[in-house]
Copies of this chain bind each other. A is one copy, B any other.
């Protein structure tokens, strides 16, 4: 039996004004692709914006148009789910720089050719600026909440810092206010893997019949390890062999974990644009709310009246709990109401996407309070 789509609205909005960017440029004709579930109430005060992570998109709770897999937060968003679409109007949009309908390096520039590396380097704040403009076009002046995990959490924090009246509630999961050196390092490895692939062609691979799939696949493999905990890798795969009784004494994927990673890398190339990966990870490495506010993180939250909820996971070593704690201290210093919890979950950073009932309860409770 086919499940009825829960999408209530979707489309692509062309922003009427050029989008000013942190890098100093103004981007004309920006398109932002969005998807929504539920109904905006007459008071227009029940909208929740779900901000996606690095390689996510607007298909939060609908099948992915390329892979056909359930939306990336299907377990969290829907009727009766923690982010309840019978109660809230839930909206998500592909980030600026992305490759799922919003303007990015694969989009056509004014000269009719893809931007490729002519696309300006963007920041997390630029992504949020585009989303704020989208919301305005959709007639939403104020959000009941903005919610996001990982890079989605950064967008939520950036919104609170830069558009302090825009959201009444800010929920940042497995995230950080400042990208740390280790994260910058992993992001750089991914970019170097892509740019080392001759098929990248300095970014001008569109229409050539070639794309830096090998490099993008390696980038994804390296990143994917960081999304999981050591214990989840051990529990899920350990040293078990893949479809064989003994080691091959060769370079095939003897181990299940090798086979799994190769699959993660290869399947990613079918749904993601390598240049978008460069731009989005660049935006993440640039993210530092503390620097943006002249070195005092608390300043970022001095002007907002939003309530905050910060969630970390004990096995997340990519955005470990001390980074959330630092954020919470800044919120405390700013006098912002904040609840903070470190949840126990075995899955590492990816816990925000997986079956963690305690997460469901915290999210639901915060949004409905």
Residues of A bordering B, CB below 8 Å: 22-24, 117, 120-121, 178-182, 184-186, 188-189, 191-193, 195-198, 214-215, 217-218, 221-222, 225, 228, 230, 233-234, 236-239, 247-251, 253-255, 257-258, 261-262, 265, 278, 282, 285-286, 288, 291, 317, 320
Contact = CB atoms under 8 A, between A and B. Distances in A.
B121 A265 contact: no
18 contacts: A180-B234, A181-B234, A181-B236, A181-B238, A181-B239, A182-B233, A184-B255, A185-B225, A185-B233, A188-B257, A192-B218, A193-B196, A196-B215, A196-B217, A218-B218, A247-B286, A258-B285, A317-B317
Contacts of A249: 22-24, 120-121
Contacts of A286: 247
A184 B225 contact: no
Majority SS of interface residues in chain A?
helix
B237 A181 contact: yes
Nearest to A259: B188
Nearest to A290: B239
**Which of A217, A230, A236, A262 counts the most chain B CB atoms within 10 A?**
A230
A184 B260 CA distance: 12
A322 B218 CA distance: 29
Given A193-B218, A239-B288, A250-B121, A320 B230 contact: yes
Given A178-B239, A222-B222, 9 more contacts: A179-B239, A181-B234, A181-B239, A181-B255, A181-B257, A182-B234, A188-B221, A230-B317, A251-B282
A250 B288 CA distance: 17
Nearest to A237: B181
Contacts of A117: 251
Contact of A188 (B239, B258, B285, B291): B258
Contacts of A181: 230, 233-234, 236-239, 255, 257
